[in-house]
Amino acid sequence: GALLALNKPPGLPILGRPGDLSLDVLLPALRQRLGLPAELHVVKAPAREYSGLVLLSSCYHTTKKLQQFFTDARWRGQYPATYRAITVGVPAEAEGEISTGLSWQQQGDRATVAPVPAPGRRSLARKDVKSTLTRYRVLSATGGCALLQLQPRTAFPEQLQVHLTLLLCPALGDHKHSSRVGRVLGMPFFLTPESAPARTQVLDEELLSRLGLSPQQLHHLPLHIHLQELVLP
């Protein structure tokens, strides 16, 4: 019918500045190639850094109906988006929940998302901090890495990356938050954002070899978080 699904590569934004490559810029050419009579709208899409499902619609009413469904789903206890991630490190528990407050914090000239473990009522009421929750399950593990299924129960920018660092298992290719997981004698521990500025992810030689990468190529490694599934009404 009116719906079209794409598999977006990581790094492609949905909306971009004039002159930048973005999904929105590509939609008219896609419509022409497919011979669609109506303009395409983005119904649901992963963040720029993520790969995975992009849901498009050529019917305005279908777009609005589905967008309203996704907005209202959490209030009804439905969680229609399921992600998969490859992590550096294997969670201690095979499944569980990650729950924390998240807020934007200024670090020098840039803002970053940081956990607030015990947010106060006032900060939550002022919406300075948002309570967030993600359910996870380990699907597979080998060589010190794991494949996780992630189901966010709340929505906040970079929620999945920050939650994975709290598990002490940052996502592969996370060059923004992985520095918060330090190691002493091989044991991981969490560092505060103030003491661990963003930098290219550090991987051990064995994993680099398995990926076929040199340390100089690491900054090209994309974030391995993928929107795997969307459940529609």
β-strand partners of 149: 84, 137
Please tell me whether residues 117 and 56 are part of one structural domain: no
Q: How confident is the model at residue 18 (pLDDT cuts 50, 70, 90)?
A: confident
Q: What is the CATH number of the domain that holds 70?
A: 3.30.70
Please tell me whether residues 110 and 204 are part of one structural domain: yes
Q: What percent of the chain has pLDDT over 70?
A: 100
Please tell me whether residues 139 and 151 are part of one structural domain: yes
Q: What is the model's pLDDT at position 98?
A: 96
Please tell me whether residues 89 and 73 are part of one structural domain: no
What is this structure's pTM? 0.92
Q: How confident is the model at residue 149 (pLDDT cuts 50, 70, 90)?
A: very high
pLDDT tens digit string along 20-42? 899 999 999 999 999 998 999 99
Q: What is the model's pLDDT at position 62?
A: 94
Q: What is the model's pLDDT at position 127?
A: 81
Please tell me whether residues 111 and 21 are part of one structural domain: no
Please tell me whether residues 217 and 200 are part of one structural domain: yes
Domain boundary among 33, 48, 78: 78
Give, in order, the Cα–Cα distances in Å from 98 to each of 45, 61, 101, 120, 142: 23, 36, 10, 18, 22
Q: How confident is the model at residue 233 (pLDDT cuts 50, 70, 90)?
A: confident
DSSP state at residue 164:
H
Residue 1: pLDDT over 90: no
Please tell me whether residues 217 and 107 are part of one structural domain: yes
Q: What is the model's pLDDT at position 210?
A: 92
pLDDT tens digit string along 88-126? 999 999 999 999 999 998 877 788 898 988 888 888 888
State which residues form the domain around 167. 82-230
- Give the total number of structural domains in the chain: 2
